[in-house]
Amino acid sequence: MRVLIVEDEIRLADTIARGLRRRGLTVDVSNDGEDGLHRALETTYDVVVLDRDLPGMHGDDVCERLAADRPDTRVLMLTAAGALDDLVAGLGRGADDFMAKPFEFAELHARLLALGRRANPASPVVLRWGDIEIDAGRRLATRGDRDLALTPRELDVLELLVRSDGHVVSAEQLFERAWDEHADPFTTAVRVIVSRLRSKLGDPVVIETVIGRGYRLIGSP
């Protein structure tokens, strides 16, 4: 699950980002409304956490643009005020949920997960490829009767490969969904993660490298 936080309170934005990353989410951060809108239009996010009072471009206007141009991206609006008119204004611009500051991180995390499920309503909770099974809700993966003990990033890569149903997934696509913007796209990160996945999955090999194109799963789905 990939999340964009658009919040001009830098310490708060960084605190939220660190907490979500520890829970296995891929998180990018913007501290400006105009920059946040640009990122949200250029990159596919499951959820955008959007403050209302932003420099550059007001959060209401950002929300309105996202509702028009990125209807599949869910928006959770934040505000320093908890008045009813703020709630009405935010939801009226296309927000999917609303939280007033200050808030408990556990509640924010729970609401993000709920919005993420709404962003992908047709996605099955349990994914299978042969004897590999991924419980997307519980973030667990097994092969046969063996727990694979995958890291969050390994699980994200395997999940995307399974969802691709045997079609080739480029390294760039894997990188976009499993790494945040602070990672160096020119590193061997994807190749390293795929190598670790192959090791944990064991035999028979199910991840095939398609030279010059990317990776796909082989065998019976």
pLDDT of residue 81: 61
CATH code for the domain defined by 126-217: 1.10.10.10
Strongest mean pLDDT among 21-25, 45-49, 149-153: 45-49
pLDDT exceeds 80 at position 205: yes
Decide whether 2-119 matches 126-217 in CATH topology.
no
Residue whose token pair is 């950002």:
62
pLDDT exceeds 90 at position 125: no
Mean pLDDT of the chain: 87
CATH code for the domain defined by 2-119: 3.40.50.2300
pLDDT digits (tens, 9 = 90+) for 158-187: 998 998 989 999 888 888 777 766 555 556
- Tell me phi and psi for residue 133, to 5 degrees: -130, 130
pLDDT exceeds 90 at position 132: yes
**Domain-by-domain residue ranges, the chain?**
2-119, 126-217
Q: Among 15-24, 87-96, 107-116, where is mean pLDDT lowest?
A: 87-96
Q: How is residue 154 written in tokens?
A: 């390994």
Residue pair 130/139 in contact by the 8 Å Cβ criterion: no
What pTM value is reported for the model?
0.64
Beta strand residue intervals within 96-167, DSSP E: 97-100, 126-129, 132-135, 140-143, 146-147
Q: How confident is the model at residue 95 (pLDDT cuts 50, 70, 90)?
A: confident
pLDDT exceeds 90 at position 34: yes
Q: How confident is the model at residue 31 (pLDDT cuts 50, 70, 90)?
A: very high
Q: How confident is the model at residue 10 (pLDDT cuts 50, 70, 90)?
A: very high
Cα–Cα distance, 201 to 194 (Å, whole number): 10
Q: How is residue 124 written in tokens?
A: 């099955």
Enumerate residues 6+ apart whose C-beta is below 8 A from 18.
none
- Tell me phi and psi for residue 147, to 5 degrees: -75, 125
